[in-house]
C-alpha cells in the first residue's frame, strides 16, 4: 500500500499559506505517494482545487475523514485540539510547532500518541538547507517588511530628478542582518533607497556590503554557537545603544529583525530614540511576534508615537502566501525524503541527525528535551 499524505486547510486566524503546492504534489504522486488535499486548502494562497486534482491529489471535502485516514499530515501551523483529536495514534504530523509557545498542544499530541516533527527544530546544517523553513519564510518576511516601510513612509525611496525639483533618496536602516534583514536590505536597495545595516555578528558585514549597503561597525563580535548571535554584556549593550541611537535618528525607515533563539527579542530602539526621529519616519518591527525590537511596538498593530509610525506586523509570510507556500512545500518535500523510504514506507528509525533533532513527540513521550522540561515545569 502506498503511503498516504494529507494536506488540510489552515484554519488559524490570518493564515493564508498551504503546506503543499500542486507542483510538489505532482512530484509526490509521481513517486507513488497518495496525496489528499482538503477542498479549498490552497485557495487563499492562489492554488485552486482543480490544479491539485490535475497534479494527482484527491480533493477531500470531509475534514475528519482527511485527518483520520492519513499516515502523514502536513501543516503550516501546529494542529489545533480538534485536528489532534481527529488523528489516529501513530499518525505523523509535520508543521512549524513553535513548541515553547504551544505547550498545551504538545501535551495533547503526546497524549494522542501522535508522532510530531517540528520544522523549526531542523538543525541549520548544510544537508538540511533545503528543509529550512525558518530561512525560506524569513526571506518572505524580509521582503514584505521593506514594502510595508515603503508604503507607510510619506517619502519616495529613490532619488528623482524631475522638473518639479530633485528628490533625495530615503534612508533605510536595517537592524539585524540575518536572513530576513538581508532580504529587507536587498528589497530597499532595489527600490532605490540609501541603506545601512547593522548586526552583532561581524560576519554579517560582508553580506550587507555585498548588497550595496553600508555596514555599521561596532567593536564587538557577538557570534555565538551555530552561527547565531549570543546575548551582549551590559557594557556592550551601552556601546551598541549609542551607535544605534544615532543611526535611528537619521533614518526615514527603520526595519528591525534582531532575534536570539529561544529568548525574547532584544530591545534595540527605546522610547527616547523614537522621540529623536523625524516626524513621519517609520519603524517596521519584524520581531513583534517575540516581543519586539522597539520598546513601543504593539504586536499586530500599527501605531503612531512621537509622530513616528510603528508597525508590528505578525505572520508576514502569510501576506505573500503564493510564494511562501511554494518555498514551504519545497522544504517539506526535502524533509519527506528523510521520512519516507524510496519504496514508500514510513521510516521508523529516527537516528538521522535531522529527524532526531526535529522529533518533538513520539510514542506518548515528548522527545525534545527543552520542551519536555517546560511541560514538566508547568505539570502538563
Contacts of 20 (CB under 8 A, 6+ apart): 5, 7, 28, 35, 37, 74, 329, 332, 333
Interaction between residue 135 and ligand NAD (CB under 6 A): yes
Alpha-carbon gap, residue 247 to 277, rounded angstroms: 10
Query: Sign of dihedral through CA atoms 291, 296, 297, 299?
Result: positive
User: To the nearest whole angstrom, how small is the minimum distance from the Cβ of residue 89 to ligand NAD?
Assistant: 34
Q: How crowded is residue 291: how many other Cβ atoms within 10 Å of its Cβ?
A: 16
Provide, rounded to whole angstroms, the least separation between the CB of residue 198 and ligand NAD: 6
Catalytic residue among 4, 130, 202, 228: 228
76, 118, 133, 268: which one binds ligand NAD (CB under 6 A): 268
> Does 47 interact with ligand NAD (rule: CB under 6 A)?
no
Nearer to ligand NAD, 86 or 229 (CB): 229
Whole-number Å distance between alpha carbons of 270 and 250: 15
Report if residue 200 touches ligand NAD, rule: CB under 6 A.
Answer: yes
Residues near 101 by beta carbon (within 8 Å), at least 6 away in sequence: none
Which pairing describes strands 359-362 and 160-162: parallel, antiparallel, or unpaired?
unpaired
User: Is 251:171 a contact under the CB 8 Å cutoff?
Assistant: yes
Task: Give the nearer residue to ligand NAD in terms of CB position, either 91 or 331.
Answer: 331
| CB 329 to ligand NAD: min, Å | 18
Stretch that binds ligand NAD, among 30-38, 70-78, 228-236, 347-355 (CB under 6 A): 228-236
- The single residue among 77, 257, 297, 326 that binds ligand NAD, judged by CB under 6 A, is 257
Taking CB under 6 A as the rule, does residue 73 contact ligand NAD?
no
- How far apart are the C-alpha atoms of 167 and 158, rounded to whole Å? 8
Residues 320, 157 contacting (CB under 8 angstroms):
no
Contact residue for ligand NAD among 112, 118, 157, 259 (CB under 6 A): 259
129 is catalytic: yes
Please indicate whether residue 135 is annotated as part of the active site: yes
Which residue reads 530561512 in cell numbers?
A: 135
Given the complex with ligand NAD, which of 134 and 150 has the nearer CB atom? 134
CB nearer ligand NAD, residue 137 or residue 325: 137
Site residues for ligand NAD per CB under 6 A = 124, 129, 132, 134-135, 138, 175-181, 198-201, 204, 227-229, 232, 257-261, 266, 268
Amino acid at each position: 500500500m502506498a503511503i498516504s499524505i494529507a494536506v488540510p486547510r489552515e484554519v488559524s486566524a490570518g493564515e493564508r499559506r498551504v503546506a503543499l503546492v500542486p507542483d510538489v504534489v505532482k512530484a509526490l504522486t509521481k513517486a507513488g505517494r497518495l496525496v489528499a488535499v482538503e477542498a479549498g486548502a490552497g485557495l487563499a494562497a492562489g492554488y485552486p482545487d482543480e490544479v491539485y486534482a490535475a497534479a494527482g491529489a484527491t480533493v477531500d471535502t470531509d475534514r475528519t475523514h482527511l485527518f483520520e485516514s492519513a499516515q502523514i499530515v502536513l501543516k503550516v501551523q501546529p494542529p489545533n485540539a480538534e485536528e489532534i483529536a481527529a488523528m489516529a495514534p501513530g499518525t505523523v504530523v509535520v508543521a512549524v510547532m513553535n513548541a515553547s509557545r504551544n505547550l498545551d498542544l504538545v501535551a495533547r499530541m503526546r497524549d494522542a500518541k501522535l508522532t510530531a516533527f517540528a520544522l523549526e527544530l531542523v538543525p541549520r546544517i548544510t544537508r538540511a538547507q533545503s528543509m529550512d523553513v525558518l530561512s525560506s519564510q524569513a526571506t518572505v518576511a524580509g521582503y514584505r517588511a521593506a514594502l510595508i516601510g515603503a508604503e507607510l513612509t510619506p517619502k519616495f525611496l529613490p532619488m528623482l530628478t524631475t522638473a518639479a525639483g530633485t528628490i533625495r533618496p530615503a534612508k533605510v536602516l536595517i537592524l539585524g542582518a540575518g536572513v530576513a534583514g538581508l532580504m529587507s536590505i536587498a528589497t530597499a536597495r532595489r527600490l532605490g533607497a540609501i541603506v545601512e545595516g547593522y548586526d552583532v555578528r561581524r560576519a554579517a558585514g560582508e553580506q550587507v556590503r555585498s548588497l550595496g549597503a553600508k555596514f555599521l561597525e561596532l567593536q564587538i563580535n557577538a557570534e555565538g554557537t551555530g552561527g547565531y548571535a549570543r546575548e551582549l554584556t551590559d557594557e556592550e549593550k551601552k556601546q551598541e545603544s549609542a551607535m544605534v541611537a544615532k543611526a535611528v535618528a537619521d533614518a526615514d525607515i527603520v526595519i528591525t529583525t534582531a532575534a536570539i533563539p529561544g529568548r525574547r527579542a532584544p530591545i534595540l530602539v527605546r522610547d527616547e530614540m523614537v522621540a529623536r526621529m523625524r516626524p513621519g519616519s517609520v519603524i517596521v518591527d519584524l520581531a513583534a511576534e517575540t516581543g519586539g525590537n522597539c520598546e513601543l511596538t504593539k504586536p499586530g498593530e500599527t501605531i503612531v508615537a512621537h509622530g513616528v509610525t510603528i508597525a508590528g506586523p505578525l505572520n508576514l509570510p502569510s501576506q505573500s502566501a503564493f510564494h511562501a507556500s511554494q518555498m514551504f512545500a519545497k522544504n517539506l518535500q526535502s524533509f519527506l525524503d528523510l521520512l519516507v523510504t524510496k519504496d514508500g514506507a514510513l521510516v521508523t528509525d529516527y537516528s538521522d541527525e535531522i529527524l532526531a533533532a526535529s522529533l518533538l513527540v513520539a510514542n506518548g513521550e515528548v522527545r525534545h528535551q527543552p520542551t519536555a522540561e517546560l511541560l514538566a515545569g508547568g505539570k502538563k
